[in-house]
Amino acid sequence: MKKNDRIELDITGMTSEGSGVGHAEGMAVFVPLTAVGDRIAAHILKTKKTYAYAKIDEIITPSADRVAADCPVFAPCGGCVYRHIKYEAELRIKQDYVESCFQRIAKLPLRLCPIVGAEQTVGYRNKAQLPVREENGEIKIGFFSRHSHRVVNSAACRLQPEAFSRVTEAVRDWIKENHISVYDETAHTGLLRHIFMRASKDCRELVLCLVINGAALPHADALVERCVPLGVTGILLNVNRERTNVILGDECQTLYGKPYITDTLCGREFDISPLSFYQVNRAQAERLYEKAAEYAGCDENTVLLDLYCGVGTIGLTMADKVKQLIGVEIVPQAVEDAAHNAEKNGITNARFLCGDAAEAARQLERENLRPTAVILDPPRKGCDESLIQTVAGMRPERVVYVSCDPATLARDYARFAALGYVCPEENGFHCITPFDLFPRTQHVETVCLLSKLSEASEF
């Protein structure tokens, strides 16, 4: 097999990134935009020793899971990978992927609880981060194409509420009319880098943030006049002059209105600023947090430690069930938001620490504070081994691990298991529940309960 060969291929599996997998001449062949059950004619693009990459030349026999994609830019856009298959098939793929991570990485064939699918698969995102570029005189605002930094216009993204599309088009018109320069990442020139939007439930509040490679925004009044009638309740300027792929800088300026949104989650009100983490799918986040609370098993004697707490959403939704809540977060603005949100909801049994999660955990250990339950919601890279050792050394009864990457969850599960924490069983399933917070994309969230060995058997 070599580049530019045309072969027939049966798609028998999926990768974690959403590409189909077939086998030919003893090699795995990865083909985007395919579905399990497809028989295709594939055009080989690149070959390695044991695998190859290809594209579809022809769908000879379509999979029973195939549906017509409902987005005109689905193929080139890098936002979604599953718009061409039934949602039920997507959920099966995600369930299988989480299970395979535990089998391959943790070396444990655990029986997971069924994945919790989303009731709403379109318009569910409450946040958008859209790069702005100029190509051949055309202003492009949307998503990066797969494996590139070429922007695909996404004027009406199916993942986002319609209000985001209206605001995006208003910004595009403002750029053109006022001759605003846009960012060139190769030359590190031009002003406008990204558009950032965040909205509360039903877009009752919507904050627009422009990320710029400079100190000031020209024609800001014209932007306000154009966007406020569209329901924008706050307009911010974020300064990012670094030559980096990181979207937001550390400095924010308010140009108009309220610089944050207020949203309700699990009966609590939260004020969320642009630099603070907040789950993008509010409805599914509520269901995930309810499961996390169930796994945490909180009561009036519980000391709950919420590491990577962000604006406090997970811990504060459980605060009325515990004796004391301690949240830890490294982003100063998020810590301020968390303390403010506790006060806003009349919660008096919570305190929040700003710092690295591992160091904060060690500090609490030095205070001889032994948490009953620990919530871990780390970034995609998972937990440092030192943090896992520190948490286990504090001897909590339960650890609830919320993960956005099944691979790092499985790796960290094995580390916890070596220290005496394992996943108990209930009703024939281990207490690991995948949640689809990101329908039509490759991402999947998972909640896992880890109990001390002596107590796991009693669950």
Q: Is the pLDDT of residue 203 over 90?
A: yes
**What pLDDT was estimated at residue 456?**
47
Please report whether residue 258 resides in a domain. Answer: yes
Enumerate the β-bridge partners of residue 324: 303
Share of the chain above pLDDT 90, in %: 85
Alpha helices in 297-405 (DSSP H): 313-318, 332-344, 357-366, 385-393
Answer yes or no: 404 catalytic.
Answer: yes
First to last CA, the chain: 53
If asked whether residues 314 and 446 sit together in one domain, one would say yes
Number of domains in the chain: 3
Q: What is the DSSP string of 74-117?
A: TTTBSS-S-TTB-HHHHHHHHHHHHHHHHHHTS-----PPPPB-
Confidence class of residue 457 from pLDDT cuts 50, 70 and 90?
A: very low
Of 404, 423, 431, 448, which is the active-site residue? 404
Mean pLDDT to the nearest integer, 236-255: 94
SS3 446: strand
If asked whether residues 305 and 219 sit together in one domain, one would say no
Please report whether residue 108 resides in a domain. Answer: no
Question: Which residue reads 């990101």 in tokens?
Answer: 438
CA separation for the pair 356, 199 (Å, rounded): 28
Using left for φ > 0, alpha for ψ between -120 and 50, and beta otherwise, residue 334 falls in alpha
Supply the range of the domain harboring residue 354. Answer: 281-456
Residues 6 or more apart in contact with residue 293 via CB below 8 angstroms: 317, 318, 321
Nearest to 19 by CA among 9, 32, 28, 10: 32
- Choice between 450 and 148, residue whose per-residue pLDDT is larger: 450
CA separation for the pair 110, 425 (Å, rounded): 9
Look at the pTM and tell me if it is higher than 0.85.
yes
Mean pLDDT to the nearest integer, 178-187: 96
**What pLDDT was estimated at residue 275?**
81
Q: Is the pLDDT of residue 362 over 90?
A: no
**What pLDDT was estimated at residue 113?**
97
If asked whether residues 228 and 291 sit together in one domain, one would say no
Enumerate the β-bridge partners of residue 133: 140
Share of the chain above pLDDT 70, in %: 99
Mean pLDDT to the nearest integer, 347-361: 89
**What pLDDT was estimated at residue 100?**
95
Please report whether residue 328 resides in a domain. Answer: yes
Structure tokens at 73: 């830019």
Average pLDDT value for the chain: 94
**Predicted confidence (pLDDT) per residue in 16-69, tens digit:** 899 999 999 999 999 999 999 999 999 999 999 999 999 999 999 999 999 999
If asked whether residues 260 and 297 sit together in one domain, one would say no
Last residue of a domain, one of 66, 81, 101: 66
Report which DSSP code applies to 420: T
Confidence class of residue 381 from pLDDT cuts 50, 70 and 90?
A: very high
Domain harbouring 23, CATH code: 2.40.50.140
Q: Is the pLDDT of residue 249 over 90?
A: yes
Last residue of a domain, one of 44, 66, 88: 66
If asked whether residues 309 and 430 sit together in one domain, one would say yes
The mean-pLDDT minimum among 74-78, 127-131, 374-378, 419-423 falls in: 74-78
Mean pLDDT to the nearest integer, 362-391: 90
CA 339 vs. chain centroid, Å, equals 23
